[in-house]
Structure 1
Amino acid sequence: EVWFPDAFVGTMSQLLCAIEDGTEPEISGRDNLETIALCTAVRAGAKEHRITTVKEFLR
């Protein structure tokens, strides 16, 4: 069973509504970038056996 389609539907629906209404989406692109940076920092820290920060991966 795949989780992604169910998780994706709510977020995409909210984004499309924000575009139609001309409002800011509840989850911003910046929020998404910070989530990716967090995941990347965790993986790099585990792989390299060191302490990482999210800031290292935000550019």
Structure 2
Amino acid sequence: MTTHWRLSMHDSLDEGSISIEFALITLCGAALAGVLLAVVTNSSVSDALARLIADALSP
């Protein structure tokens, strides 16, 4: 009986940690998407990507 109580107490202590981890992962994912969007929308980067794709598709 004591072991079950310890397990349930441990599980309830971890619930907040899981929520914080999920929030941090979501925040980091959004930040990474913002950085990638800024890089891709940069004119020099988009020109380089267009040249790279054109070179790859040309025979």
**TM-score, normalised to structure 1's length?**
0.42
Higher relative helix content: 2
**TM-score, normalised to structure 2's length?**
0.42
